[in-house]
């Protein structure tokens, strides 16, 4: 079983909800992918980002990854991070993991948010806004438009600065110019904005003729918020420490 040196077993003792009761300390390559997805259904969302199709039957994670040409250690790193709140890979683990898919994985996550989830939420917002008093509709649409601009700028900045920086380092090239320092705060701000959006929708929008769609919208936003928090963890706990380690080791 994969274990981390700096994370004591007791760290996971808080995981005692019925969802997690039957899970061992961490996921391993020998476990069935179906069992992992059953343990944490959010993992179904990350499979397309690895190019792993559904229909994996009874295959283990190791077998599925081999067939999809995905480094299994990296896949497990992501699945564990998505599932165990206190999971924190140490630098030895990052240094010995095949990180060739890190940038493609993060880019695929950005595409999923910008091309699928955000437009989907936008459609709900426009539809609901068209059914409520105009001044409320305008505020709702403006708030969402501001959020989309902010998150797009955030993704673009990562795609222009951090991702190319990592790709260069992985090819043994250390860029001379110093990259903009990475701000964890910007992740918090994005999540705060999404929380504000849900509050606006269920606390302050007057009753409208689309209660079911409004509820759907709230759950879509909550799901996106939770996924983006995990995405942020991948960047803060994997991407940045790994970039820093590669830089240090090239000095």
Binding site for Fe ion (CB under 5 A): 158, 235
Residue 5 CB, nearest distance to Fe ion (Å)? 27
Cβ-based nearer residue to Fe ion, 126 or 183: 183
Instruction: Quote the least distance from Cβ 218 to Fe ion, whole Å.
Output: 23
Residue 113: CB minimum distance to Fe ion, A: 8
Q: Which is nearer to Fe ion, 158 or 227 (CB)?
A: 158
Nearer to Fe ion, 124 or 187 (CB): 187
Could you tell me which residues come within 8 angstroms of residue 246 by beta carbon, excluding any fewer than 6 positions away? 166, 169, 170
Closest distance between Fe ion and the C-beta of residue 185, in Å?
A: 11
In the complex, minimum distance from the CB of residue 241 to Fe ion, in angstroms, rounded to a whole number: 14
């Amino acid at each position: 079983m994969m274990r981390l040196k700096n994370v004591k077993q007791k760290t996971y003792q808080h995981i005692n909800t019925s969802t997690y009761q039957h899970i061992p300390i961490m996921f391993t390559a020998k476990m069935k992918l179906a069992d992992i997805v059953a343990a944490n259904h959010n993992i179904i969302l990350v499979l397309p980002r690895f190019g792993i199709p559904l229909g994996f039957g009874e295959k283990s994670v190791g077998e599925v990854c081999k067939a999809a040409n995905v480094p299994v250690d990296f896949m497990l790193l992501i699945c564990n991070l998505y599932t165990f709140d206190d999971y924190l890979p140490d630098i030895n683990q990052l240094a010995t993991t095949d990180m060739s898919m890190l940038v493609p994985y993060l880019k695929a996550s950005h595409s999923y948010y910008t091309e699928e989830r955000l437009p989907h939420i936008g459609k709900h917002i426009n539809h609901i806004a068209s059914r409520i008093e105009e001044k409320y509709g305008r505020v709702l649409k403006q708030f969402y438009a501001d959020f989309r601009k902010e998150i797009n700028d955030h993704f673009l900045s990562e795609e222009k600065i951090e991702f190319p920086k990592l790709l260069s380092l992985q090819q043994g090239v250390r860029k001379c110019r110093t990259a903009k320092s990475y701000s964890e705060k910007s992740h918090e701000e994005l999540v705060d904005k999404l929380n504000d959006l849900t509050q606006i929708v269920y606390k302050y929008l007057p009753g409208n003729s689309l209660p079911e769609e409004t509820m759907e919208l709230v759950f879509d936003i909550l799901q996106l918020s939770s996924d983006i928090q995990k995405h942020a963890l991948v960047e803060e706990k994997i991407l940045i420490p790994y970039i820093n380690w590669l830089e240090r080791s090239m000095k």
